[in-house]
Each structure stands twice: as C-alpha cells, then as structure tokens.
Amino acid sequence: MKLDLLTGLYVFMLAAFIGFEVIRRVSPLLHTPLMSLTNALDAIAVVGAIILAGEHKTNLAAILGTIAIIAATSNIVGGFIITVLVHTDMASPHLVRFGTKRQLEKYLPGVLTGEIITAVGVTEPGAGSDVAGIRTRAVRDGNDYVLNGTKMFITNGVYGDLYFLAARTDPEAKGSRAITMFIIEKGTPGFKVGRALDKTGWRSSDTAELIFEDCRIPAENVLGEPNRGFYSIMANFQTERLVIGAMAMAEAREALRLTFEHVSQRTAFGQPLWDKQAIRQRLSRRLAEVEAARQLVHHTAWLDAQGGDCVAQVSMVKALAGDLVNQVLYDCVQFHGGMGFVRETAVEPVAGTPDGDDVAGIGWVVLDLLAHPADVDRDGAAVAVTSP
C-alpha cells in the first residue's frame, strides 16, 4: 500500500482528535509515569504504523502527519509525547524495516494496536551517542545467543513489552561492524529492570536501567543482518532526531502561547507586563526564532521524504531545536515570576521538559557530526559525508 494525500489528510484529522483525547485523559498524570497507554495513545500507535506502512517507506504527508500529532499534543508535556514517539518513531521502525516475515507476523499486529509497547536499547552507562562503543555482549551458543550487559536511560523500559536491543557479537571486528540487533520480550529469563530512573524532567515518561545476566535469546530473534546493527541504528537516528526537533519546537510554541497570555493579564507597577517594551520584544524575537526553526523542521521532513541524503539538515534540526527550546523556556519561566516554578501553573510542566530534548542525543555531538567531516555542495549548503 502506497501512502497518498488521503492518508495524509486522515493523519492530520486524527491528530486533532488525539489532541483533544490526550488533554482529557492524560493531563492529571503529568508528574507520574504512565503505567499503560490509553485509547488515545493506541490511536497514535496506529498513526505510527500508517507512517511506516507500504513498502517500508514514508512520504511527505505521513511525515508531516507525525509532526501534526506532536503539535496537537504540545500542551501535554512532562514526558507524554516522548513516551509515544519512542514507540512509534524510534523503536518499532526497527521491526518494520528489518524484521523477517515471521517476526512481523508475530509482533506487528500488537505493535499497531498499542497492545505491545516497544522500546529500543542502545545507550549504556559508558556509551550513548558513541554507538560503536557499546559493551553489552551477545555470544552464540548453539541455536541461541547469550546476552550480558546493562542498558541505561531506556524510555518505556519499565512498562514496555518488546525491546530491540543492540549488542556486540563480533569481538574481533571494529565497533561499527560488530553490533547486532535482537528482539527481546519482557519476562525473558536473565532480563530484568534494574531500576526506574527518577528524572528532573519528562516526569510522566518511564525511563529505566535494564540488566541482562546470561539472558538466552533464540537466534531467530536476530533483527536484521548479524553484525550490521550499527547501520540500522544510524539509519533510524535520522527519524529520531527529526521528531525530537519537532517536539522541541511544539513545546516552545506552547510555552510562548502560555506566556503571551500570562503577560497580557499580569499587572506590575500599574500596567500589564505586556506594556513593558523589553518583555514584548524578547517574546516576539523568541516567536520569530521558533517559527524559523519550525520551517527548518518541515523542510528537512520534505527532504527526508524524497529519500535523499539529509544528514546535515537533520543534525541542524537537532542541535538548533534542542538549544532553542531551552532558551525559550528560560525566558517564559522568568516572565511568569515565582509562579513559573509552581506545579499548578500551566507553564511548569513545560519547564521540566526542555533539557531532555537537548540531552536526548546531545546537541554538541550532532554539531560535530555536522562540522566534521563535512563538505560544501555547489549551492553552498553543508553536506555531511558518511563512511560506508
């Protein structure tokens, strides 16, 4: 099935419905981890499936549909959006893109309905953006692999049902040629959640340490080609960074909306804060910056939908959006005064969000990716050069 304009319109309509449902169902839970996904979240899972449907490709309408969903739920923060996006755009794409027919038949129906919540396990205590440096080992033993190691900062780690895990399978090869992806089900002997992590922001997003001790995985649960997992991870990083950028700008816009409303009503020294030129100009400048960054997000989504190389543009999105949302939130909280740090204030859960946007694939790492190695095309645009 090929995605068309009708599919794109459906996604946009569903985004509006989801925005309403999420506000109604999830708002009271922003400061506690969500133990299960509501029907609204199940709907988002379906959207993620639509985006990945049809010859395992995407098109512009579908990509922008994801961005529309992010925008529709931008006033529900505190970790809600990232909980969903990990399932739809960061974890399950590994299954859709690289799964065998048997694996797809076994797991994909539950993933589409939201009955099976997915997580991806790459980051470790000593390796994050440095994927080639992971130390978790998987040793072949007959028809199985035996896994040993620890994963850290895994979103959906506690309440997930299905995990796509990266492990070293060739101790002799260099890091990028030594990693294999595995499918691991919750409850597999030797696999346990070490601890749930108590975070400063993204409070409603469940994040965990995962521990594997002589965890035996059938060889048929290898996801994709053995020793090619590094490249599948890199391929999906493009989507991950793009949707993180979209999420950051949606949060920034929502914070600005709340702050424009607040400074129009709050009075100081006999006049609304809005009458203060410095406040008006600062908020207006931030709004212009956010709108410019949103255009970069949409342009990069368009480039990605064409199937071309957009590593440089995706890196720009991730670095710019992660930094800008922190600047915007700082200003918005300041203009709320002391109430900006009180949980009953609408802007407070947003204030606990931005650092996560920047840390999730640390901004300076993608800046380095953009700058080195890099080339300049004949139109003067920076183009990242990747090694085979």
Percent of the chain clearing pLDDT 90 (strictly above):
40
**Stated pTM of the model:** 0.79
Which pLDDT value is given to residue 334?
92
pLDDT less than 70: residues of the chain: 1-78, 351-388
Cα separation, 187 vs 112, in Å, equals 21
Which pLDDT value is given to residue 36?
42
Distances from the Cα of 51 to the Cα of 3, 48, 88, 90, 319, angstroms: 8, 5, 9, 12, 25
Set out the domains of the chain in order of their start, with CATH numbers: 5-116 (1.10.540.10), 120-227 (2.40.110.10), 230-384 (1.20.140.10)
b/e sequence 184-193, b meaning 16+ C-beta within 10 Å? bebebeebeb
Catalytic residue among 240, 251, 254, 348: 240
Cα separation, 261 vs 264, in Å, equals 5
User: Six-digit token pair at 193?
Assistant: 């959640």
293 touches 251 (CB < 8 A): no
Burial class (CB in 10 A: 0-12, 13-18, 19+), 302: middle
Residue ranges of alpha helices (H) inside the chain are 5-26, 39-52, 60-72, 80-85, 92-98, 101-113, 229-265, 277-305, 311-336, 348-351, 354-359, 363-371
Which pLDDT value is given to residue 70?
61
Which pLDDT value is given to residue 371?
62
Query: Hey, is 125 helix, strand or coil?
Result: coil
Chain-centroid distance, C-alpha 373: 25
Chain-centroid distance, C-alpha 1: 26
Verify cis geometry, omega within 30 degrees of 0, for the bond prior to 373: yes
Which pLDDT value is given to residue 261?
94
213 is catalytic: no
Taking the CB of residue 1, how many other CB atoms lie within 10 A of it?
8
Distances from the Cα of 120 to the Cα of 86, 87, 91, 98, 178, angstroms: 8, 9, 5, 14, 18
User: Six-digit token pair at 31?
Assistant: 């400061």
Query: Hey, is 45 helix, strand or coil?
Result: helix
b/e sequence 160-183, b meaning 16+ C-beta within 10 Å? bbbbbbbbbbeeeeeebebbbbbb
Which pLDDT value is given to residue 272?
94
Question: pLDDT (tens digit, 9 = 90+) per residue, 168-201?
Answer: 999 888 878 899 999 999 999 999 999 999 887 7
Cα separation, 70 vs 54, in Å, equals 22
Taking the CB of residue 380, how many other CB atoms lie within 10 A of it?
6
The DSSP secondary-structure symbol of 377 reads -
Question: pLDDT (tens digit, 9 = 90+) per residue, 337-383?
Answer: 988 888 777 787 776 655 555 555 455 566 666 665 444 333 333 33
Cα separation, 318 vs 208, in Å, equals 23
Termini Cα distance of the chain: 31
Query: Hey, is 35 helix, strand or coil?
Result: coil
